[in-house]
Amino acid sequence: MKSILLFLLCSFSLLAQQKPNIIFIISDDHTSQAISAYGSKITKTPNIDRIAKSGAILYNNVVSNSICGPSRATLLTGKLSHKNGYKENEKVFNINQPVFPEELQKNGYQTAWVGKMHLGALPNGFDYLNILPGQGHYYNPEFIDKSNTKTRYEGYVSNLVEQFSEEWLGKRDPSKPFFLVVGHKATHRSWLPDLQDLGAYDQVNFPLPANFYDTYEGRIAAADQDMTVDKTMVLREDLKIHANYDAPGNNGLYNRFTPAQKAKFYDYYENKVSKEFDEKKRSGKALVEWKFQRYMRDYLATANSMDRNIGKLLDYLEKTGLSKNTVVVYTSDQGFYLGEHGWFDKRFIYEESLKTPFMISYPGVIKPGTKVQEVISNIDWAPTLLNIAQTKIPSEIQGKSFLPVLTGKVSGWKNESYYHYYEYPQPHHVAPHFGIRTAQYTLVRFYGPLNAWELYDIKKDPANMHNVYQDPAMKSVVAQLKKQLKQQILTYEDDEALKIMDAEK
């Protein structure tokens, strides 16, 4: 009897190890334009690139609601915002709804989330949590554990997220497969680089995007936003020009520093950057373009530590032998504007914020160097991870597994994605809108304060500069896309969008 029991235990352990481990790295506001694997010439991300080279890189991975918390809610539920209830930031995620890590737990997986989550609640489905409260802080941040106990740690957030991730990996039960989310705070506003990265891009003169001075002709929603480098980006808070280092309360950006940290930070931003600002006395376009240069330098310098720590995690997997049976994903909660249209931030269905980087390595399954052009949505992330883990996909999940796309074993992929953004008017005055993104077109309906349709031919106009909705030559395309959009609205049961569509008849 003992020998039979021992045999069954050994067999179970062997089966468990055949299931791949999964590490899902999700950053914040880190856009494809800032990743060298996507062809960026303005920065180097050698460690993020390692994931792309060893597996697949997706060129049309889009989100269904381009904003931080809702994107993570969609990751957890595999559902669109109107179904999971988390439409806007700074709300409280409904922890009573199913989340896909619960299915992994049923299938024998250990589950953990370390770093930024930003959902206002601690969802079920995780054996271990060590997360940043809310947006978290770059320097000497607090972390919250599963019992909701808050602990403050000295150090830089990207380094701490990596440290805690490795610590959990070292303490886990090695007889079970694991699923780990590594949530990086970088590159969220306001951009505070690690001390060793201060000035990393000071010698670089970044080219202005071709549409930096966009006049938004034919695009009333784009003209009505509040997210420009010119008017919205704040010299003191965003660019650290004569920053208030003694701001009161726990939310002060800089009063969290140790004396040694503060001295280095102050020396760079006050004695160098602010001094240069005072001496040049710029105004007009010269000031706007200077702000753009400072924004880019801070944003990319903030990404440096994240990339470096991702490299440490990949090295850890190799040293421990875990790399042989561990799937590694790198993605962001959505894209971000690096001066395109004169903007920073996200929210719009337009390409730079709609698309998010996504790369995945799966040793022995996904061929290194795979390039995926199909349109994939973030509602497809959860079912794909469940598929990889050989776990049942619940029927209520709205997405589909794209594992067959990654392995070249699919034809007829849907190649279209649904989008619905809600948060208005604060903080950036972007009108709510819904729409569809296909392989060639984006059709969008703005509503609420505005009432407008827009259509873009992405192949001819990847920068979304020319709204061709009223072009007579596009009449049949509009009709077909509206039919597809209506079908998606019905399929996903978006009653709010359906009422708007039906009211136009």
Q: Higher pLDDT residue, 5 or 306?
A: 306
Backbone angles phi, psi at 485, to 5 degrees: -65, -45
Mean pLDDT of 104-126: 97
pLDDT at 409: 86
Mean pLDDT of 422-439: 97
d(CA 68, CA 429): 16
C-alpha distances in Å from residue 230, one per residue of 138, 214, 216, 344, 364: 25, 12, 15, 10, 49
C-beta separation of 305 from 193 below 8 A: yes
- pLDDT bucket at 457, cuts 50 / 70 / 90: very high
Tokens coding 487? 């079908």
Q: Higher pLDDT residue, 67 or 412?
A: 67
Where are the extended beta strands (E) located within 128-225?
128-132, 142-145, 150-152, 178-183
Give the max Cα distance, the chain: 85
For 147-172, how does the pLDDT look when each residue is reduced to its tens digit (9 = 90+)?
999 999 999 999 999 999 999 999 99
d(CA 131, CA 161): 9
Q: What is the CATH number of domain 421-502?
A: 3.30.1120.10
For 289-314, how does the pLDDT look when each residue is reduced to its tens digit (9 = 90+)?
999 999 999 999 999 999 999 999 99
Q: Could you give the angle at which helices 381-388 and 68-77 cross, rounded to 10 degrees?
A: 40
> Model pTM greater than 0.85?
yes
pLDDT at 410: 80
Alpha helices in 321-361 (DSSP H): 351-354
d(CA 105, CA 313): 23
pLDDT at 10: 42
Backbone angles phi, psi at 8, to 5 degrees: -65, -40
d(CA 52, CA 35): 11
For 190-224, how does the pLDDT look when each residue is reduced to its tens digit (9 = 90+)?
999 999 999 999 999 999 999 999 999 999 999 99
My answer on whether omega of the bond before 187 falls inside 30° of 0, hence cis, is yes
Beta 416-421 vs 433-438: how paired, if at all?
antiparallel
pLDDT at 249: 60
Of 197, 186, 178, 198, residue with least CA distance to 310: 186
- pLDDT bucket at 16, cuts 50 / 70 / 90: very low
> Residue 251: is it exposed, middle or buried by C-beta count within 10 angstroms (0-12/13-18/19+)?
exposed
Mean pLDDT of 395-424: 94
Mean pLDDT of 386-404: 97
Mean pLDDT of 263-274: 97
For the beta carbon of residue 354, count every other beta carbon within 10 angstroms: 26
- pLDDT bucket at 411, cuts 50 / 70 / 90: confident
C-beta separation of 202 from 297 below 8 A: yes
Of 379, 373, 421, 423, residue with least CA distance to 400: 379
d(CA 342, CA 390): 45
pLDDT at 254: 86
d(CA 502, CA 196): 56
pLDDT at 7: 43
Q: What is the average pLDDT score of the chain?
A: 95
pLDDT at 250: 52
Same fold for the pair 17-191+301-410 and 421-502: no
Question: What sign for the dihedral angle of Cα 216, 220, 225, 231?
Answer: positive
pLDDT at 247: 79
d(CA 386, CA 240): 43
For 320-357, how does the pLDDT look when each residue is reduced to its tens digit (9 = 90+)?
999 999 999 999 999 999 999 999 999 999 999 999 99
d(CA 114, CA 144): 10
Percentage of the chain beyond pLDDT 70 is 96
Q: Of 138-147, 204-213, 239-248, 306-315, where does mean pLDDT reach its minimum?
A: 239-248
Strand (E) or helix (H) holding 454: strand 452-457
Q: Higher pLDDT residue, 143 or 252?
A: 143
pLDDT at 40: 94
Q: How far is CA 38 from the centre of its chain?
A: 15
For the beta carbon of residue 455, count every other beta carbon within 10 angstroms: 21
- Whether 463 shows a pLDDT value over 90: the answer reads yes
List, in order, residues 6 or more apart from 252 with CB less than 8 Å away.
244, 246
Class of domain 17-191+301-410: alpha beta
pLDDT at 248: 74
Mean pLDDT of 97-120: 98
- Whether 278 shows a pLDDT value over 50: the answer reads yes
Of 30, 463, 466, residue with least CA distance to 212: 463
d(CA 227, CA 345): 7
- Whether 121 shows a pLDDT value over 70: the answer reads yes
C-alpha distances in Å from residue 143, one per residue of 148, 271, 301, 333: 9, 32, 23, 20
Every domain of the chain and the residues it spans: 17-191+301-410, 215-294, 421-502
Mean pLDDT of 117-145: 97
Question: What sign for the dihedral angle of Cα 362, 366, 369, 373?
Answer: negative
- pLDDT bucket at 319, cuts 50 / 70 / 90: very high
d(CA 106, CA 189): 37
pLDDT at 505: 66
- Assign 450 to helix, strand or coil: coil
